[in-house]
Each structure stands twice: as C-alpha cells, then as structure tokens.
Amino acid sequence: MVDKHAGKVIIIGNQKGGVVKTQSTNEISYNMQQMGKKTLMIDFDSTSGLTERTFPGELPLTIDRDPMGNSFSPGSAHAFQLFFTDTEIKPEVLPDGRHIFGSTNEIGEINYRPQDCVFDFKERIDALREQYDFIFIDSAPDYNNLLIASHVVGDYLLIPTLLEKGSRIGVGKQLNYMQRIKKNYNPGLQFLGTYITQAGVQSYSQPLLDGYLSPVETENLRRLYEILQERNYSEDKVLTLISWVKNLAKEAIELAMTIREYSPASKPAVQYQELTSKILRLIEEDTHGK
Ligand SMILES: Nc1ncnc2c1ncn2[C@@H]1O[C@H](COP(=O)(O)OP(=O)(O)OP(=O)(O)O)[C@@H](O)[C@H]1O
Ligand SMILES: [Mg+2]
C-alpha cells in the first residue's frame, strides 16, 4: 500500500500542445480520488484549460478575487500563491472530493521572477504532501520557471502523447528536460511512463504491432519506442493506449465532466481506470523497492 498522505507528486507533461495533458490529468486524478486517494490538482498552464474546464461558469473568487478589475488579484486557491512562503493558500474543494489550485494566465508572471521562487514552491509543496496521497501538476509545453518548479518537486513524470511526429518529438524533449533537472536538482524524479491518448484502433483482437493500429500508426509507435530506447527506456514504458472516440471527450468537456462520469462504459473511461490502477501499482512497487 502507498502510505496514506505520503504525498507523491505526479507531473503530466509533454513539450507539445494538444496531446490531452489536461483531460488525462482530470481522468486519472478523478479515478485516484474514486479509489479513496486524497488528490490535489494544480494547474500550471497559463492557458488555464484545467481551471476553465473545472469551473466552466465563473471562476471562484478564491482563484481570481477581482475578475472584472484590471489588476491581477490571485486568491488563496490560485497556484501563483504557491511560489511564496508567507501567502495564504487554500485549494478549492470539488464535489467529487478532489482539491484544486487553479490558474489564470497571470501564472506566467512566475516565469519573470528570480529562480529562487522555485525553492519557495518546493517548501510549500513539501508541506502539502502531508495532506494528500497524490498531487497532480498539469504542465505546459514550455521550458520556463513553471516547468523547472514542477520537476524540482516531482516524484514521477507521466507523458501523454499522440503518435504523430510532433508529439513524439515533444516526448523526447520532455525526457531531455526531465533528465537535466533530475541530474541538477532532483535525483529522485522518475519517468513513470507514457500513454497514447487518441489511438485510432483498427482491430482490438490483433496484436499491438500487427494490425491493432493502422500500418502508419504502427510505424509511428515503433518510432516512439526508438525515442524511448535512445534514452535507455524499454517498450514497457508505453503504459497503455486510450481509444480515440469521436465527440466523446468533447461532449464530456462541454459538460464539465470526466469521461468516466459522462459515459462510464465507454472504452476511454475503462482504459483510464486501467491506466490509473497500473500507475498505482508501479508507484507501490517503486516505494516498496526503496
Ligand atoms: N479519447 C479521446 N478521443 C477523442 N478525442 C479526445 C480524446 N481525449 C481527448 N480528446 C480531445 O483532445 C483535445 C485535447 O485535449 P486537452 O485539451 O486535454 O490537451 P492538452 O494537451 O491539455 O492541450 P493544451 O496543450 O492546449 O493544454 C480535447 O479537445 C478533447 O476533446
Ligand atoms: Mg492543457
């Protein structure tokens, strides 16, 4: 068993936009909470997709105290506050039990601050670990203070990806950044794995490398394996494939629901649950091995 409130930090990142970082953060963290794990999400993307999807109407005043004003006035549930040691911090509590520190685009201001703020962030996260089993950080495809901060506190990196070339390059870049920050600041950080977020499955009964995907996507998957192998990771690091289902995620997002809430029997809902169980198993094995 993972110790209660041992507070593992999981970064969701890929140096390519639109690869389903935000939706998968939402699905996996929701499943964790449903499995009885106390879960916190932090929105680290200045496009604030996670925050906007979580609060499709008006943002809570705890995230933006002065929504109509011209000044930046982050509240106690804004991720910005985590970069100081003396601010009031209090996440928003969601009806499903998860907690969230949201963001508005002003979170980008952190990237113009002296890098010391990264260590203040670490101090805040280390205190928060006591209250949660898992802390998820939805990150942006940029190398900046926010990315460095997430990797300085992270225990595990998960990389959602598509199979096309740009996303595969994003996987490689994300791994390079991770290894660089790991070496310099956070030797405990580990690459937990990658998962394909919109797999166009042709035949569920065929083997993965022989007919499961189209010939082009099968070749793309081989090339993803090569990117992993170049960095000494095995094919096992591809944890799973989530099926592409027309309109499903879009509809769930429009209703501010997870895919599992919107359509519990759908392939992606079931696949995300299997992925969550696999992630928990890998983390348990890792913590026991230590
Ligand atoms: N299983 C799926 N099948 C089909 N479409 C999907 C699936 N999962 C997610 N999508 C679609 O993929 C789109 C991108 O997802 P998301 O916004 O989570 O990506 P992102 O990596 O966070 O993007 P950004 O870089 O803009 O933050 C969503 O609009 C969603 O509708
Ligand atoms: Mg996003």
> In 3D, which of 119, 132, 40 has the Cα closest to residue 85?
119
State the pTM of this model: 0.96
Q: What pLDDT, on the 0 to 100 scale, is given for residue 273?
A: 98
3-state helix, strand, coil in the chain (%, to 5): 45, 15, 35
Q: Is the CB of residue 133 below 6 angstroms from any atom belonging to ligand 1?
A: no
Which amino acid is located at 45 in the chain? D
Q: Is the CB of residue 180 below 6 angstroms from any atom belonging to ligand 1?
A: no
Strands (E), the chain: 8-12, 39-43, 92-93, 99-101, 134-138, 156-161, 190-199, 238-243
State the first-to-last Cα distance of the chain, in angstroms, to the nearest integer: 13
Q: How far is residue 87's CA from residue 75's CA, in Å, rounded to a whole number? A: 10
Q: Is the CB of residue 23 below 6 angstroms from any atom belonging to ligand 1?
A: yes
Q: Residue 159: helix, strand or coil by DSSP? A: strand
Alpha helices in 204-266, H assignment, sequence order: 215-230, 248-254, 259-262
Q: Is the CB of residue 170 below 6 angstroms from any atom belonging to ligand 1?
A: no
How far is the CA of 113 from the CAs of 88, 145, 184, in angstroms? 19, 8, 20
Note the pLDDT tens digit of each residue in 246-263.
999 999 999 999 999 999
Q: Where is 90: in which H helix or E strand?
A: none
> In 3D, which of 57, 67, 37, 36 has the Cα closest to residue 256?
57
Q: What pLDDT, on the 0 to 100 scale, is given for residue 66?
A: 87
Q: What pLDDT, on the 0 to 100 scale, is given for residue 219?
A: 98
Question: And the tokens for 178?
Answer: 């991770």
165 - beta bridge partners?
none
Q: Is the CB of residue 198 below 6 angstroms from any atom belonging to ligand 1?
A: yes
Which sequence spans correspond to the domains of the chain? 8-289
Q: Is the CB of residue 250 below 6 angstroms from any atom belonging to ligand 1?
A: yes
Of the candidate CATH numbers 3.10.25.10, 3.30.110.70, 1.10.3260.10, 3.40.50.300, the domain formed by 8-289 belongs to 3.40.50.300
Q: How far is the CA of 198 from the centre of ligand 1 (A)?
A: 8
For the CA of 26, the nearest ligand: 1
Mutating to test ligand 1, I would choose from 15, 22, 23 the residue with most ligand atoms within 8 A of its C-beta, which is 23
Note the pLDDT tens digit of each residue in 44-93.
999 999 999 999 999 999 999 988 888 889 999 999 999 999 999 999 99
Residues shown for the chain: 290
Report the atom number in ligand 1 closest to the C-alpha of 250. 31
Question: And the tokens for 51?
Answer: 């925050």
Q: How far is the CA of 140 from the centre of ligand 1 (A)?
A: 13
What radius of gyration do the chain's Cα atoms show?
A: 18
Note the pLDDT tens digit of each residue in 154-182.
999 999 999 999 999 999 999 999 999 99
Note the pLDDT tens digit of each residue in 13-50.
999 999 999 999 999 999 999 999 999 999 999 999 99
Report the atom number in ligand 1 closest to the C-alpha of 245. 3
Q: Is the CB of residue 49 below 6 angstroms from any atom belonging to ligand 1?
A: yes
Q: How many CB atoms lie within 10 A of CB 105?
A: 11
Q: How far is residue 172's CA from residue 182's CA, in Å, rounded to a whole number? A: 15
Report the atom number in ligand 1 closest to the C-alpha of 49. 27
Q: What is the DSSP letter of 198?
A: E
Q: What pLDDT, on the 0 to 100 scale, is given for residue 71?
A: 87
Q: Say yes or no to pLDDT of 1 above 50.
A: no
